[in-house]
Amino acid sequence: MEVMILKDRVPRWFSSLPSWVRRLIVFVIGSTILIAGLLMLVLPGPGILVIIVGLAILATEFVWAERLLIRARDRMARVAQKLRKPKNDPG
């Protein structure tokens, strides 16, 4: 019950903020997660996954992040397709 109340209140509260405040909040949270993901590329942790989550958060308000997220998703799909391809398949 309390979770449903929270789910209803947060979007309403967030959408009532001025756009520059929303963009600032999204920028701070998204860039913090993105930087943590970049650090996890050299430190232990799921770096690529965290980078994609950070880009997804940033893409809610910024077009440049949405473009990067689309490129990252396309690249991950190509890598997954190469990994699924049988070894004896020519090409």
Average pLDDT, the chain: 81
Tell me the pLDDT band of 90, cut-offs 50, 70 and 90.
low
* 76 or 32, higher pLDDT: 32
The alpha helices in 16-87, defined as continuous H runs, are: 19-40, 47-59, 63-84
Nearest to 41 by CA among 50, 31, 32: 50
Residue 68: is its pLDDT beyond 90?
no
Contacts with 31 (C-beta within 8 Å, 6 or more apart), sequence order: 54, 58
Q: What is the spatial distance between Cα 56 and Cα 77, in angstroms, rounded to a whole number?
A: 16
